[in-house]
Structure 1
Amino acid sequence: MTTHKSLPTDLIDSLLADYKKPEDLIGENGLLKQLTKALVERALQAEITEHLGHDKHETVTNPTGNARNGKSHKTLKGEFGELPIEIPRDREGSFEPRMISKHQTCWAGFDDKILSLYARGMTVREIQQHLTEMYGAEVSPTLISTVTDGVMDEVKQWQSRPLDSVYPVIYLDCIHAKVRDAGSVRAKAIYLAISINMEGHKEILGLWIAQTEGAKFWLSVVTELKNRGVQDILYRLH
């Protein structure tokens, strides 16, 4: 993977105009929106699967013949600004979303958990613990298991998706988030690879979780980006 550092200073300044620390790229109007939307909508799809007793393309097995019936739309407000999401519906109108209730409009306090869920290195048990905390105590183990399966599918697809061969700019940075580990909450390092692609849009290429920040781990991050298709970087910020 080749890295060039010959971009004009004024172009770099323009690209980094809103960037002072990693949180600026994932906070209000930042990239956290992408992850939150995908994870919440995947969790809601898992919820309606658990409610109906069958997946989207499976045979209807519940006694009343209830099935999916399109989607409704809602806008959530959080630290990232406003986020439009799609909520699945059923024919009988009996589905009650749990992660996002029908009249809920605010979403706050889950930024660390969203980032952690997408970070490579989380165990199934850690994912289940995160989801349990997000849902609260009043949900069944069956629901948590179903949502975990759905979320893991979403996360694995996102983690392993092919990347572009060329990126004008890639940021390599690290933040620290609180993660429940072995029954206690610990601060862990979340490695970020964030890019500006050829269309000028910011994109999270990957997230990785580790106990601490270190040079050896950064080498493994760069190696994975190369294995997923990145061949050339015009400017790398670390």
Structure 2
Amino acid sequence: MRRTPDPFDKLAEQILEDLKKSGREIKSSGEADDFMAHLLGRLLTKMLEGEMTHHLGYEKGQARPGDNERNGHSSKTLKSPKLGTIHVDVPRDRKGRFTPRIVPKHKRTLDGFDEKILALYARGLTTREIQGYLYDEYGMETSAEFISDVTDAILPELQKWQDRPLSPVYPVIFFDAIRIKTRGENGVVTPRAVHIALGVDTDGKKDVLGLWMAENESAKYWLKVFNELKNRGVNDILIAVTDGLKGMQEALETAFPKTMLQTCIVHLIRNSLKMVNYKDYKAVVAALKPVYRAVNAEEARQALNDFAQSELGKKYSYIEKIWLDAWDRVIPFFEFSPAVRRLIYTTNAIESLNRDLRKVVKTRASFPSETAALKLLYLAIRKVERRWVRPSPYWKTAMRELTIEFGDRIAPFFD
């Protein structure tokens, strides 16, 4: 089937013919891109002129109706992933009131290009690697400073996200930390702990509540995080799931005295397996299952005792001590049905989030600054949160149980 003629066909043919007559015939794809970039620049300039005419209320050559008038042009360079550099002449007005829309002030790229750079940055690529990618894919030469400027543009968004108001009550919040390395002003690389709070609200929606960076993870610093959450509107947390950090109970009681502290079972298992020989690994994992899958606390304690008396338990006697040291923060888990246990035991949300964050930070031996690290982590979180479209299938069942268990603390917030 023949293509329906396009009204622009004749115009395009005329332009190509005129180029040929002038001795500037297009003979390569590179020359075509250069011409298209020039053409787009002129088109944008004309559109900006139209915006200025609408802003001032009169055409060029007409008498001005007010106290404002045209005042020449400013040259501006835009970046395009397909066409490279595009030059635009932005009209100015005498009073400085003109705010262009087609090419906004401070805009240095065409729509969509910033997002491409941010997407690459969110995958863990360095500014130098993004430079190379843009050159290889698009033949575009960009500076590291330019790419840094684009990623810095999200800093106000990051700050707004970090300071946003939060829900008054969260049924569950997971508190955890990951480790990164940053380079200080003195050039020395030091390890840092990025504290992460992942909340699950009364609708079952997962939400990263914030990122906080410190020299190391400590109960004292977590208290600072808890107080910030209170300042942002959190009045109550029903269950806080943590990694069993020493002093966490006291810190949590200071900020949220009614909150039930639950040691993360996954962390407990991981700590139990740290010094287990590879040939015993699967056997120890299987031997611990009766402990955390027990019907109640009494059965769990008996299962732990049975493990301690077994050959594996005697070989790895430290495992029983790990569990007993955390036992007061383990047994709340056994008060709940399987629906709630799945929420506070499997911790798939925080484990999955941390795994995604580690993927993007492991490509960096260190970050040039804390700001660079937070930018990357925030972009990675923004990407992960797009996958969180629906609550856990166990959520409604769990919420009914939590409503009975915690009564007026949760009922007013549950539809």
TM-score by length of 1: 0.46
Bigger relative contact order (CA 8 A; separation at least 6): 1
More strand by percentage: 1
TM-score by length of 2: 0.28
Structure with the greater alpha carbon radius of gyration: 2
